[in-house]
């Protein structure tokens, strides 16, 4: 069973949000999913281990 998601408000500069939107479109993800991927990658680089809550979606 998937864990519930926690909503939150995020404010970002238009330039950063535009870049995230373009990256999300290129990787066939929603902006929300792309932000989660980017956050998980940044946390992993800093040594913070996060258990995946579901298998990653395949880009097909």
Q: Are 59 and 52 in contact (CB under 8 A)?
A: no
Q: Are 21 and 31 in contact (CB under 8 A)?
A: yes
Structure-model confidence comparison of residues 50 and 1, the more confident one: 50
In which band, very low, low, confident or very high, does the pLDDT at 57 lie, cut at 50, 70 and 90?
low
pLDDT in tens, 1-36: 567 888 989 999 999 999 999 999 999 999 999 999
Question: What is the mean pLDDT of the segment spanning 36-55?
Answer: 88
Tokens of 60: 């097909």
Per-residue pLDDT, 3: 72
Structure-model confidence comparison of residues 56 and 44, the more confident one: 44
Tokens of 59: 């880009």
**CA–CA separation, 27 vs 57, rounded Å?**
11
């Amino acid at each position: 069973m998937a864990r519930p998601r926690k909503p939150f408000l995020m404010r970002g500069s238009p330039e950063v949000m535009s870049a995230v939107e373009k990256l999300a479109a290129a990787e066939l993800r929603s902006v929300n999913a792309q932000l989660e991927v980017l956050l998980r990658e940044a946390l992993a680089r800093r040594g913070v281990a996060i258990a995946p809550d579901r298998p990653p979606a395949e880009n097909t």
